[in-house]
Amino acid sequence: MTSPLSLSLASLKRQEGERITWENTCESPGIIGHDVLHVPDKAPLDISLSLSSVSEGVYVQGTVRAPLIGQCSRCLKPLEEEHTYDIAELVFYPERHAALIEEGDEDAEDAPVICDDHIDLEPLIRDAISLALPFQPLCREDCAGLCPECGEPLEELPDDHAHEAPYNPQFDALAGLEAQLREAQ
27 binds Zn ion per the rule CB under 5 A: no
Q: How far is the CB of 75 from Zn ion (least distance, A)?
A: 3
Which one among 68, 72, 87, 124 touches Zn ion, defined by CB under 5 A? 72
φ, ψ for residue 144, nearest 5 deg: -80, -15
150 binds Zn ion per the rule CB under 5 A: yes
C-alpha 12/C-alpha 125 separation (Å) is 21
Q: How far is the CB of 146 from Zn ion (least distance, A)?
A: 8
74 or 96: CB nearest Zn ion: 74
Residue range at the interface with Zn ion (CB under 5 A); choices 47-55, 57-65, 144-152, 173-181: 144-152
The size of the interface with Zn ion (CB under 5 A), counted in residues, is: 9
Q: Show the DSSP H helices in the chain as ranges.
A: 94-102, 122-130, 169-184
Q: Which among 95, 35, 33, 92 is positioned nearest to 64, based on CA atoms?
A: 33
